[in-house]
Chains A and B, each alone.
Chain A
Amino acid sequence: MNEQITKLNRRDFIKISAFTGGGLVLGFNVLSSCSPERGDGVIHDLNAFVKIDTNGMVTLMNPNPEIGQGVKTSLPMLVAEELDVDWKDVKVEQAGLDTEKYKRQVAGGSGSVRESWESFREAGATARQLLINAAAAEWSVSPNTCYTERGMVVHKATGKKIGYGQLVEKAATMEVPTDVNIKPIQSFAIIGKRIPNVDNRAIVTGQYKYGIDTKREGMRYATLVRPPAFGQTLKSFDDAEAKKQPGVEQVIRIDNKIAVLGRSTWEVMQGAKKIQAEWEDGESMESTADYQRNFKEVLSRRPTETPQRKDGDVQRAFSGGAKVFEAMYEAPFLAHNTMEPMNFFAHVRPDGAELYGPIQTPEGTRTRVAKLLDMPEGKVTVMMTRMGGGFGRRLMSDFVEEAVLVSNAAGVPVNLIWSREDDMGGGYYRPMCTYQYKAAVDTDNKLIAWQHHSVGVTGNSARAGSFPAGAVPNLQVNAHEYKSPVTTAPWRGPIHNFIAFSEQSFIDEIAHAIAKDPVAFRLEVLEQAKQHPIGKVEYDPDRFAGVIKKVAEMAGWGTSKGANVYQGIAAQYSFNSYVAQVAELVKQDDGKLKIKKIYCAVDCGIVVNKSGAENVVEGGIIDGIGHAMYPELTLTKGKPDQVNFNTYHMIQMREVPEIEIQFIESDINPTGLGEPGLPPAGPAVANAAFAATGVRLRAQPFIKSGIFA
């Protein structure tokens, strides 16, 4: 009853204050004190993104999957900005897959904000205009004579005010305006602020549910016994011991794997360990050394594929170039290692299927599952949970399909959970690859030719437009795909995560060889792209140069940083954003190197959420250092040598350097941010290592070089 009285009182109060024009400040206090949990009014939908209840509480829907990149906060910020509400009055809900209401429900390609920038703001502005129209109708005035002010519509001439909560019922029935105004950048009140993640409170108290936490009535936990090596097939198995494990209820063969179902995660995992399976090797059971050797063999031949890009004539330029340079860079396989291993809830019934869990690509997943079950897509529902990391791994839907097959075969709802060993050992990986470069400068030390020839396990390719493409008159890019049973997938900053290392190291090699400052040389090459662009130039040379100059200034590039301190620079344009980093290394008394600090300048256009942006770039830098420095996934006859964290070195707090980040002030539409922070970190460290020791790092992980502490 108390709630009811409070509600009535508040509504009356708002009405009174609206009519008298007084008590506005107090009115706002009442609104602000209302926590999102207390919204107890009747909820009305204004569109697919905006719901407002009759108490003025605003619910914004986040359609995109949240993998830790922060979209569940940043996307609703776009809507709230244009809706003109106080962020304190907003709660955010995760939407499930709904292709009629939403476009591009994907977490990938650093595209969420970039692709939603206009449409989400329009959704907010449209709802706002509806509320204005409702107020104008209420007051019998023209909508043009009204404006909004943080959750209220105001009549200009009289100062009359009315809260959104009181308008929403009427607004929801009115014709949706098609031509709405969006705010000029200068009047942003939410975009550009530091807004903490909307789920934080539930996270620190352990209440937030991830996919792996899903438990339903009648549900069984399931895990799969998988081939220990890539390319193997299941010959036979004995499940007698597994069935003796308390808690294990069913063992079912699912194609090339064996499903163990039971009442708890631990019990089914114990059961799975007790399955005696016999596996048959496939045709190709290669080890890491085989790949390395075969890659080099491919690169020793002339490329046979059609070039991905061809400007001018590299061969002629090489024969006429004053100086020619060559280098080869090698990248190992890497596991994604999301902290939350692959898992998914599936309930397959005769009349449909319910899917619930962590997935970056719900739409494509639904299509594949519908096909798998021979069911119309409309019978398959997908709800995305917050994910314990994605990094590209959850763009794949193999684990969802597995859950579907197990639920279908066992006739029960299942939560299929991979063990860490399954997760790290079962693919999908960042493709292993080797990149070979050749370049030439003329007698004036101008970069005139650049050749990229690479080979990588299927899934890897080149980025044909990557810098210095567009700046060099003679350029050719050839990429060869090497067939392998090892499954690969995009891995945070796909291709950029390694091509930035190879290109930015090779540019550095050339600069040193012709005695030019590495920063000055990059700026000079960018100036070539600006003055004499060759073919398509994907990046804006001025913005690219802007981050390089900025980071050089931040780092005090070219000035003495003290004895035993060395710097290296790298910059990469990826996902429409520009990131430059300077790594600062210290040479210890024993001659070993330690990474002391990373300076980073970012141009991603308008920054939507300062806190989230800084966080994801900082994480990207450390992730980039971690994976360039420490781990590799090697194979022995197709079998992964590393299947848990004891042999796969993930960066930890002790290895994290100091980090300083600056964003370039901009009024350009926002671009990608989940991935661009990562690619320059490795090459910046490698280039600083060269400055310190004269040792050129051409293979990851760097730790194997022996020059680091």
Chain B
Amino acid sequence: MKIHVNGSEYSLNVPDNTSLLDALRVHLKLTGSKYGCGEGMCGSCKVLIDGHAMPSCITPVASVQNKEIITIEGLEKEGQLHPVQQAFLDEDAFQCAYCSSGMIISAVALKARNPKPTRQEIIDAMQGNVCRCCVYPRIMKAISKV
């Protein structure tokens, strides 16, 4: 099967129900998306599928064959970080940073559909992204200022 990731087409020889996360991490060596819970509940594995932030761990790879997938590795354009990435940097919004790629992906999707979200809209959009180190205030600040 073929999938489109970060503007490139890849051929994969894996069972249809292989998780998209596994395809990305193991077969495409894009390890920026993380395994956290395997059940789509923690947000660490989120990627953009046709612009929507989706948990890749519960997405069968065969279901995204005709869709555009963007991972954390694909947000930077010509050496220019996505404004959300830059805002996370500016706020030093990390501790262990394992959740960061999923957080950034969720925030990128939110900003694309709602450029000036309210505080409540940010909270609603980020529900499902767990930060065990609890860097939430800085993450909120980063998303708010983009």
Contact = CB atoms under 8 A, between A and B. Distances in A.
Interface in B52-107: 71-73, 75-76, 81, 85-86, 88-89, 92, 94-101, 104
Contacts of A338: 96, 98, 132
Nearest to B96: A68
A199 interface: yes
A387 B96 contact: yes
B123 A654 contact: yes
Interface in B87-141: 88-89, 92, 94-101, 104, 122-124, 126-140
Interface stretch (A259-267, A278-286, A308-316): A259-267
Given A339-B34, A618-B134, A656-B137, A204 B89 contact: yes
Interface string A201-232: 10111111110110100000100000000000
A652 interface: yes
Contacts of B18: 264, 266-267
Contacts of A656: 134, 136-137, 140
A253 to B, nearest CB: 24
A187 B134 CA distance: 34
A652 B98 contact: no
- A-side interface size class: 35 or more
Nearest to B124: A654
A339 B140 contact: no
Contact of B34 (A196, A247, A340): A340
Contacts of A246: 14-15
A339 B44 contact: yes
A644 B39 contact: yes
B107 to A, nearest CB: 11
Nearest to A650: B130
Contact of B132 (A266, A267, A339, A659): A339
A618 B132 contact: no
B97 A208 contact: yes
Given A196-B89, A200-B89, A652 B137 contact: no
Contacts of B89: 196, 200-201, 204
Contacts of B129: 652-653
Interface in A288-320: none
A212 B44 CA distance: 13
Contacts of B33: 206
B139 A264 contact: no
A644 B41 contact: yes
- Give the one of B29, B38, B85, B137 with max A CB within 10 A: B137
B126 A653 contact: yes
Contacts of B72: 204-206
B137 A644 contact: no
B36 A420 contact: yes
A635 B120 CA distance: 36
Contacts of B140: 653, 656
B23 to A, nearest CB: 8
Contacts of B99: 339, 388
Contact of B96 (A196, A201, A264, A388): A388
